[in-house]
């Protein structure tokens, strides 16, 4: 085996192992067991901070993640407050800076926001799906082109914060890879929502 073929095989093996690693791990979850989740009646979702994986000029995955959380909350019949309304209130209260929200900054504003908890978080990994081209020796001594699809990789950490105390009552972290970024985001949020749904059986419209 020549050096070029060996390096190509090594790259492909690395891609396969990477995909196995990301799909093989379930979400990491931590919950405040002393918190009464039955008190939660309405939930708000804010844009996720994506500055660690950006910057982005025209597309911000933090907005896509927030919208996906809203969609999946509503699909579970959980009452959700309009995201733009919450963000406007935070701006009016000088609590919104470049899309970053810290749990302590939302303390004591539950009545203003009209929610019991907020879901906030951070995009921790963002690698779009792509194509990789490799050139291999053909039987006639020439080169042939091979194209391999590289999966998208997406990860996030989500936190549910009690707006009265600023206390984090639930946190989940997950990384997932898929053929396309759209499905990677959807499945990442879905995996976390499945875990969150286990402790929110009473949060319904």
112-147 pLDDT per residue, tens:
888 999 999 999 999 987 766 666 677 777 776 666
Parallel, antiparallel or unpaired: strands 28-31 and 167-178: antiparallel
CB atoms within 10 A of CB 56: 13
Q: Does 24 have pLDDT greater than 80?
A: no
Residues in the chain: 205
CA distance 113 to 45: 11
pLDDT digits (tens, 9 = 90+) for 75-95: 988 899 988 888 888 888 777
Strands (E), 35-180: 43-45, 80-81, 117-127, 130-137, 143-150, 152-162, 167-178
Confidence of residue 67 (pLDDT cuts 50, 70, 90): very high
- Predicted TM-score (pTM) of the model is 0.76
Question: Between residues 203 and 154, which one has the greater pLDDT?
Answer: 154
Q: CATH: 3.90.420.10, 3.40.190.10, 3.40.50.10610, 3.40.50.2300. Which one for 26-129+150-197? A: 3.40.50.10610
CA distance 180 to 195: 23
- The answer to whether the CB of 86 falls within 8 A of the CB of 158 is no
User: Which pLDDT value is given to residue 190?
Assistant: 95
- The answer to whether the CB of 45 falls within 8 A of the CB of 66 is yes
H/E run at residue 81: strand 80-81
CA distance 3 to 179: 29
């Amino acid at each position: 085996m020549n050096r070029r073929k060996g390096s190509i095989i090594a790259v492909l093996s690395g891609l396969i192992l990477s995909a196995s690693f990301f799909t093989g791990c379930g979400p990491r979850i931590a919950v405040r067991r002393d918190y009464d989740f039955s008190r939660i009646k309405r939930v708000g979702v804010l844009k996720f901070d994506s500055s660690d994986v950006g910057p982005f000029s025209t597309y911000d995955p933090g907005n896509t993640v927030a919208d996906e959380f809203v969609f999946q909350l509503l699909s579970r019949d959980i009452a959700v407050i309009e995201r733009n309304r919450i963000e406007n209130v935070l701006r009016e209260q000088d609590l919104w800076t470049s899309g970053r929200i810290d749990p302590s900054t939302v303390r004591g504003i539950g009545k203003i926001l009209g929610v019991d908890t907020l879901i906030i978080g951070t995009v921790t990994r963002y690698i779009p799906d792509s194509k990789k081209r490799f050139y291999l020796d053909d039987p006639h001594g020439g080169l042939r082109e091979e194209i391999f699809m590289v999966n998208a990789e997406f990860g996030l950490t989500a936190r549910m914060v009690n707006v009265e105390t600023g206390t984090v009552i639930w946190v989940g972290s997950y990384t997932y890879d898929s053929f396309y970024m759209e499905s990677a985001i959807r499945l990442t949020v879905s995996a976390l929502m499945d875990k969150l749904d286990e402790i929110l059986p009473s949060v319904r419209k």
